[in-house]
Amino acid sequence: METIQSLKKQLEARNELLQDVPRASDLVEGSKALAGKLDALERKLHNPEAEVSYDILAKGARLYSRISPLLDWATAGAGAPTQGVREVFAEQTRELDGYVAELDGLVAGDLAALNQEAKELDLPGIWVPAR
């Protein structure tokens, strides 16, 4: 989530700086589109508007809200995780891997194209933090 949030903040900051630069209008529009895709991906992982636990329950538990109890059960439990817990963990791991692949695709595709466009305009690119 930190990578997604960092990318969104950088895109939004650059857009704010370039909003009145006519030659950068396509870059700003592309950045807004990518920020929207990143926001949608983040919402699959957790509910950014949730302030308390009943918000999570009322608005639907995202992956983070479903996978974090597994860690508690595994670390605080009085024995090895049950087969059911292992199966749920494997399923949620596959889901997470899909989201990581989606992020990697956005970085390799959309962001790489935007960074190339920024380079051609002699404007700053967006840095991808290490995960």
| Residue-wise pLDDT tens digits, 43-100 | 888 776 666 555 455 455 678 777 877 888 778 878 888 898 889 889 999 999 999 9
Phi, psi of 91 (to 5 degrees): -65, -45
Cα–Cα distance for residue pair 126/63, rounded to 1 Å:
27
Query: What's the pLDDT score for residue 58?
Result: 47
What's the pLDDT score for residue 8? Answer: 97
Cα–Cα distance list, 83 to 48, 63, 79 (Å): 31, 20, 12
Calculate what percentage of the chain has a pLDDT beyond 90.
62
- List, in order, residues 6 or more apart from 78 with CB less than 8 Å away: none
- Residue 44 class from Cβ within 10 Å (0-12 exposed, 13-18 middle, 19+ buried)? middle
Q: Is the pLDDT of residue 22 over 90?
A: yes
pTM of the model: 0.82
Q: Is the dihedral of CA 110, 8, 45, 60 positive or negative?
A: negative
Pinpoint the alpha helices (H) of 19-62: 25-45, 53-59
**CA 77 – CA 71 distance, rounded (Å):** 10
Q: Is the pLDDT of residue 129 over 60?
A: yes
Give the pLDDT score at 1: 78
